[in-house]
Amino acid sequence: MKCPACGQTNMAETIREETLAYGGQSLTLHAMHGTFCSSCGEGIWDAESYRRYTEAQAGLLRTVKGDVSADIKRIRKSLKLTQTELAEIFGVGKVAFSRYERGETRPPAPLVTLLKLVERHPELLVEMRGLKTQGEATRGAAQCLSQVAKKRAVG
């Protein structure tokens, strides 16, 4: 049998362990059967091992995503905020948190880290709100200045 990747005929039936890793979680599948090339390492799982591989992969994905979704929901509830309120504080779209909590969208890692920090130090929320107001004030001031500049240019 020729290797589909390199064309060598060093394909051999192998039984080995395969480790899957995703989002900081990993999982090892034992006694995986397949035919592998001893030249380049390419190979094909047999049907049963392939099924186990894809199932494990899907399971791992669910575990990681599910964990994050549940974490976000739990933290939000503990802060007694609605999805919209939290979105406003974080400056993301209104529906962002409903997507994160349903596992439709994977939240950006910095957002998750920030949420976990806020969970431990809820007083940070007040500061975050303050930063946001400050940001709006700065934008407002910039707008005023640009209007003044325009008026000057006209006059």
Q: Which residues bind Zn ion (CB under 5 A)?
A: 3, 5-6, 8, 37, 39-40, 42
Residue 6 vs 21, nearer CB to Zn ion: 6
- Pick between residue 44 and residue 92 the one whose CB is nearest to Zn ion: 44
Give min distance, CB of 18 to Zn ion, in A: 17
Q: If you write DSSP's letter for every residue of 24-72 in order, what string do you get?
A: TEEEEEEEEEEEEETTT--EEE-HHHHHHHHHHHHHHHHHHHHHHHHHH
Token output for 67: 């964990």
The Cα–Cα gap between 103 and 125 comes to: 24
Q: Is 8 or 138 the residue whose CB approaches Zn ion more closely? A: 8
